Structure 1
Amino acid sequence: MTLLHYIQSQLSLPERSILKTIELLNEDCTIPFIARYRKEMTGNLDEVQIGQIVKLKTAFEELEKRREAILKAIAEQDALTPQLQEKIAKATTLTALEDLYLPFKKKRKTKASVARENGLEPLAKIIMKQQHQDVEHAAQRFVKGEVASIEKALEGARYIIAEWINENEYVRNKIRRLYQRKATITTKAVKAKKDDDTAQKYKQYFDWSESLHRTPSHRLLAMLRAENEGVIKLKVEVDTEEALHIIDGMIIKTDVTSCTDQIFIAIEDAYKRLLSPAIVNEVMNEAKAKADATAISVFADNLKQLLLGAPLGQKRVLAIDPGFVSGCKVVCLDEQGDLLHNENIYPHPPQRETAQAGKKIRSLVNAYKIQAIAIGNGTASRETEFFVKKIQFDCDLQVFVVNEAGASVYSASKIARAEFPNYDVTVRGAVSIGRRLKDPLAELVKIDPKAIGVGQYQHDVDQTKLKEELDTVVMSCVNAVGVNVNTASSALLSYVSGIGVNLAENIVNYRSEHGKIESRNSLKEVPRLGPKAFQQAAAFLRITDAKHPLDNSTVHPESYHIVEKMAKDVKLSVEELIGNKAVLNNIQLEKYCTETIGLPTLNDIVKELEKPGVDPRKAAKLFEFDPNVKTIADVKVGMSLPGIVNNITNFGCFVDIGIKESGLVHISKLANEFISDVNAVVKLHQHVVVTVVEVDEARKRIQLSMID
């Protein structure tokens, strides 16, 4: 089996597209670069399709690595027959490979190995032939040494037979399919934990049973977490009689004799002691992997929406990290997000220096020509919002409430310490809140995506796969928006196609030593930024006010000559051609096609020339919560409230209604019709109107509905 055949067996994509994508990946091209600038080679595959090829390529390489290791291990035992080698070569999954390797795998001391040491394997073979009429007579001659009786001889032989049955790939496949189709997952509460307050969130699983293959990802992950915390005991099983009947049908070959009686006993032992525990582990690992994949996908979708959140842009911002006892940390930022001023105010209890704080905010707004105010959505957020909106400013100011999830993680991070070595964590946290309003993407890339808190059970899933997926999402978003090479942080630059952490630091250091980077071409002067890195990165890096007008566009430098030829043909300069829709719409693109550049790329170029350097994200919008709802005590059933979607899961979405506790809109309450995908109805940060269905003040839970 080749890599091409492996990918084609799982993706319906043209052979040429797959082969060209693999070729580009082997040349260390990135997904964003391939999707954007190699459309002709791949047949216009998008980032999702290319990402799927990357994952399958990795899986195939892991499969091949394991195949080679197994072949080597069996060959070293002089047990590799042509038939077995052919089976191993045709295996398409790791499970199939492991089944074939199982009989040859080195084992610790087992009941079967002890029986073999006692010379009972010949007796096991006699029994398995199922032809001997007097098995006890056959066993008599094996009674010697450690084997003290006929029963001990038969018992040892059964252990060997049980191991053979367990290692039979056909038997394992049959039982595996039975579990995959009919396994039931059952949970029971641990009595000692049942009444604990911390266990109440798992109450529905105190006595629960359902089909394993129909269990949704969030429920399976919740059960596994409850089991890990010792709250419940979990069991996965199928009907034992059905399983034994399947094995009987595969092993028993004759009418019941004294031999088959022994085999029946061995089959039951093999199933209960060896097969069932192993297959349960397998199907649970498989179910967990699927649940992880679903949860990771949800997290990735949410993260993408969050990163591509609407930016306010380059405006002067006053940011407030609100608090009660410790006061509110206030910072003033310039258009680039640099810190101009910081101090504390105490408008809330216990100090209640409201008038003094109001005068201070007004003074700062005037002194630093503030254009917008950002307030973190943590403790005292609503109170601070009400306080700020009562201040009589000399100009119109927009006041935004900003999601501060992960700000504390950033403020204590190495990146934050490097940016603000002379300030404490409270100042850094307030700066992060202000910068998030200005540009969510540029600020959030500095934080471990897991700390942002958008998703479900992110700490329970495979952390390696989660990181890989989230890094891919961040890279996709950064390159979709583009990066100003002269103002971007090293954290943001590191996600640019072809750059990475080391080159990002080199670019920042080069800026510090040489000043503003004037052109894309001068990027080649950055230490260690070679031809490959330049090819991958150049078009995603923007240079404002550059000498060449295309340096602030998504047009790749390798295509500049095409734009220059277009401009020459219509007797305009490149500057005059940019933005001239009337001329651009009349250009006959076919005449500019080459062996490597076709209509897909040319259409992208024209689209970019119409509006060069335009940020694909929407502009930030103001939002007003209900001023009468300040705590969960103010929330009443039947209320209609404005809210912002702040998290999306498979079972519904969470909505911020302006208080500490977000409310849940269950998937069944999202629309009048049946919904299978929450993202089909709502998006992160979407402004919605919800109706309060239920309020559980003791458990701090609010149930909402979006059904008209």
Structure 2
Amino acid sequence: MIERIAKLLNIHAQAVSRVIELFESGATIPFIARYRKEASGGLNEVDLMAIKDEWEKQQEIEKRQAFILEKIEEQGKLTDELAKKIKNCFELHLLEDLYLPYKKKRKTRADKAREFGLAPLSELLLAQKDFDLDAIVEPLLSEEVLDEEDALEGARDIIAERINQDETARATVRQHYQKRARFKAEVVAGKEEEAQKYKNYFELDRPLKQLQAHQILAVLRAEKEGLLKVQLAPNEDYVLNDLCGQFIRRSCPDRWAEQLDMAIEDAYKRLMKPSISNEFVKQAKAQADLASIQIFADNLRQLLLASPLGNKRMMAIDPGYASGCKLVCLSATGELLEDTVIYPTPPRNRKFQATDTVLDLIEKHRIEAIAIGNGTAGRETEQFIRELPFEGIAPTIFLVNESGASIYSASEIARQEFPDKDITVRGAVSIGRRLMDPLAELVKIDPKSIGVGQYQHDVDQKQLQNKLGAVVESCVNAVGVDLNTASEYLLTYVSGLGPALARNIVDYRRSKGAFKSRQELRSVKRLGEKAFEQAAGFLRIRKGIHPLDNTGVHPEAYPIVEQMAKDLNASIADLIADKSLRKKIQLKDYVKGEIGLPSLHDIMKELEKPGRDPRPPRQVFQFADVHQIEDLKEGMKLPGIVTNITAFGAFVDLGIKENGLLHKSQMSHERVDDPARFVKLGQELEVTIVGLELGRKRIQLSIIE
């Protein structure tokens, strides 16, 4: 198995073997990538995930091999040659081909023909030599086989089934599908109006290999909704021609060649085409799922690693019209201090009262920043806030993407945090905290609700959940977590923890107070040595007993750093503070056990910037003075923020209700295959409006000069 995985992924077999050993011991991907570089050969998280996925896939294949061998053995039909074939087959669809003749199934037309004694006739036809049909058929006549045509039909059924179960024949058909299958779709009669959003696919007829993931998912969704009829098949004449060439010899008498020709056509149309078409549709869907899930995962990673504003005293506003704007004040650590409602927008327009309330609260809580949700009434509320007569240094104002805030506010997590507050207050708190630290707040929301995916409801939900969970885990551990302030939900994603241990850590904090050292983690209920090993390096303690507790240096490496300091007659604090001391260290002198030069270089980076946050700081951004789509004109240049990236382009927030589409053809003079190479989620752009459809609320954008 190791060699197969190594060959498939083009990764050295020794590295694959060591990584799988680490997985088997309970190690996580973030832990291996960060603290076991020597064992893995420095593989990154993408490579480690690929090894894990392929390892699990190969285990499933081996289970299926064992099952098939057992079932055929039970039938007494397992030969040495067949067993060898099964053991050496590592593709599931080919394994199923080998199992097909032995698979228990409902009684087929061929089974009935055999019961009627027609198997010898089928063998004579396959022998392709002349024989006396009347002499063969006469003894076979019965109530079920009335005449010669009945006999030939039954024989053809037996031949068709044999061809369907023939490995070579199925490989021939698959080759045609692989190279020449065309994906066809047409609108269901009478559904033209209902299917308008799929209009581009009403007369689809393209090679399968030319279709992009989002097109396949769109067509299959339309088929599921009963709006399109879909077919996938290669040229039928070419397939039948190859199958006939495979089974009919030139010396075959014409009358028997005609019978075999009919059997081959029946085998393909009735038996092979439906199953292999279904197989290739599933395969295309699976590949489209992977592509779409990857886009979602890439977008989610960028969103989670978005720039944090940091610990600032915050006012957060969830805008609205008739129901008013929900306003909360938060401490620098995100605790709710006060909440109220103001009505600066229509229909109430109580701007004077709202002005007094906002200015009083800013002074009372010494507010440093104001977060405003970018949903309904967001721009009007932003304009109201920007026009306030601030005294002294005005708070910095930000529009915050509020996707998913309503999901959080109605969740069990929010009810536990704020049992006495309604959902509007919880939503405003989430908006403010999201500005402070997007990662810490967004982990509380189901990633599928954040709105950065493509066809996320159509893809394999288990795969999507696993992939997005891995992304969240990766981001949390890449940034690191403050052990004394992190929420239970953030701690859940720390390597080696999970929900139960995260809850136990929070309970320990409540009963014992703040952690003073990483070693104190060992006192947490049910947190054993393996969990400590996996988690400790990703947990930070500010102003802890040990200076390395606020770094990414793993406790297992503390003795090495302590030895470095001792050899220089200095303390660890001196090493962290003095660059000239660190320059004197010869890393090769400290290579020991599992800690080699790659890990030592990581240690030096941590000593250089202890407790550093890898995310860039949040920058101030302001939209242009446009508030609705009617304010736009073709040729207008506007600032915007990328809110979603898909396979065909990116959506850009222009500060109005509708997002504009930046199609990949408008990103560069070069051909753009992957929009994510040209734009990033949250990126600030200057875009030009190149198309407007006011009726359909569509805006086409360009960044090409």
Fold shared, TM-score > 0.5 on shorter chain: yes
Q: How is 1:147-546 mapped onto 2 (pairs within 5 angstroms)? A: 147-196=145-194, 199-257=195-253, 258-394=255-391, 395-546=393-544
| TM-superposed deviation, 1:263 | 1.0
Contact preservation (8 Å) 1:321, 1:429: yes
> After superposition, what is the alpha-carbon deviation per residue over 1:289-332, rounded to whole angstroms, capped at 9, x for unaligned?
11111001101100000000000111111111111111111111
Contact preservation (8 Å) 1:133, 1:259: no
Structure 1 distance, partners of 2:74, 2:198, is 51
Equivalent AA in structure 1 for residue 454 of structure 2: Q
Structure 1 distance, partners of 2:216, 2:180, is 16
| TM-superposed deviation, 1:122 | 2.3
Q: Secondary structure at the match of 2:402?
A: coil
Match of 1:584 in 2: 582
Structure 1 distance, partners of 2:701, 2:134, is 71
Contact preservation (8 Å) 2:3, 2:13: no
Match of 1:689 in 2: 686
> After superposition, what is the alpha-carbon deviation per residue over 1:49-68, rounded to whole angstroms, capped at 9, x for unaligned?
11110011000011111111
| TM-superposed deviation, 1:137 | 4.1
Match of 1:108 in 2: 106
Structure 2 distance, partners of 1:313, 1:169, is 62
Structure 2 distance, partners of 1:523, 1:242, is 68
> After superposition, what is the alpha-carbon deviation per residue over 1:73-99, rounded to whole angstroms, capped at 9, x for unaligned?
111111111110010011011111001
Structure 2 distance, partners of 1:405, 1:142, is 73
Structure 1 distance, partners of 2:422, 2:469, is 29
Structure 2 distance, partners of 1:259, 1:365, is 94
Match of 2:646 in 1: 649
Q: How is 1:47-62 mapped onto 2 (pairs within 5 angstroms)? A: 47-62=45-60
Structure 1 distance, partners of 2:629, 2:135, is 80
Contact preservation (8 Å) 1:316, 1:371: yes
Q: Provide the identity percentage.
A: 52
Instruction: Single out whichever of 208-217 and 299-308 deviates more from structure 2.
Output: 208-217
Match of 1:620 in 2: 618
> After superposition, what is the alpha-carbon deviation per residue over 1:155-202, rounded to whole angstroms, capped at 9, x for unaligned?
111111111111111111111111111111111112322123xx3221
Structure 1 34/136 Cα, relative in aligned 2: closer, same or farther at 3 Å?
farther
Equivalent AA in structure 2 for residue 383 of structure 1: E
Structure 1 distance, partners of 2:124, 2:29, is 60
| TM-superposed deviation, 1:141 | 2.4
| TM-superposed deviation, 1:149 | 1.6
Structure 2 distance, partners of 1:551, 1:30, is 21
Structure 2 distance, partners of 1:670, 1:135, is 71
Q: Secondary structure at the match of 2:599?
A: helix
Contact preservation (8 Å) 1:217, 1:290: yes
Structure 1 distance, partners of 2:134, 2:632, is 78
Structure 1 distance, partners of 2:44, 2:396, is 38
Equivalent AA in structure 2 for residue 550 of structure 1: L
Q: Secondary structure at the match of 1:141?
A: helix
Equivalent AA in structure 1 for residue 205 of structure 2: S
| TM-superposed deviation, 1:254 | 4.2
Gap regions ≥5 residues in structure 1? none
Equivalent AA in structure 2 for residue 221 of structure 1: L
Structure 2 distance, partners of 1:441, 1:223, is 35
2:671 to 671, 674, 684: 674
Instruction: Single out whichever of 361-370 and 121-130 deviates more from structure 2.
Output: 121-130
Instruction: Single out whichever of 388-397 and 238-247 deviates more from structure 2.
Output: 388-397
Match of 2:563 in 1: 565
Contact preservation (8 Å) 1:127, 1:135: no
Q: Quote the RMSD (CA, aligned, Å).
A: 1.1
Equivalent AA in structure 2 for residue 108 of structure 1: R
Instruction: Single out whichever of 33-42 and 124-133 deviates more from structure 2.
Output: 124-133
Q: Secondary structure at the match of 1:318?
A: strand
> After superposition, what is the alpha-carbon deviation per residue over 1:660-697, rounded to whole angstroms, capped at 9, x for unaligned?
11111111110121222212111100000111111112
Structure 1 distance, partners of 2:140, 2:447, is 65
Structure 1 distance, partners of 2:80, 2:576, is 67
TM (norm. structure 1) is: 0.98
Q: Secondary structure at the match of 1:20?
A: helix
Structure 1 distance, partners of 2:434, 2:409, is 13
Equivalent AA in structure 1 for residue 397 of structure 2: V
Structure 1 distance, partners of 2:173, 2:505, is 58
Equivalent AA in structure 2 for residue 192 of structure 1: G
Contact preservation (8 Å) 1:227, 1:233: yes
1:660 to 657, 660, 674: 657
Contact preservation (8 Å) 2:129, 2:252: no
Structure 1 distance, partners of 2:307, 2:183, is 43
Match of 1:76 in 2: 74
Structure 1 distance, partners of 2:245, 2:3, is 35
Structure 2 distance, partners of 1:173, 1:420, is 61
Structure 2 distance, partners of 1:186, 1:357, is 59
State whether structure 2 residue 682 is matched by structure 1 residue 700: no
Instruction: Single out whichever of 254-263 and 323-332 deviates more from structure 2.
Output: 254-263
Structure 2 distance, partners of 1:78, 1:297, is 46
Structure 2 distance, partners of 1:252, 1:103, is 22
Structure 1 distance, partners of 2:577, 2:223, is 61
Q: Secondary structure at the match of 1:10?
A: helix
Match of 2:627 in 1: 630
Equivalent AA in structure 1 for residue 222 of structure 2: A
Q: Secondary structure at the match of 2:8?
A: coil
| TM-superposed deviation, 1:579 | 3.3
Structure 2 distance, partners of 1:670, 1:592, is 49
Contact preservation (8 Å) 2:627, 2:656: yes
Instruction: Single out whichever of 16-25 and 117-126 deviates more from structure 2.
Output: 117-126
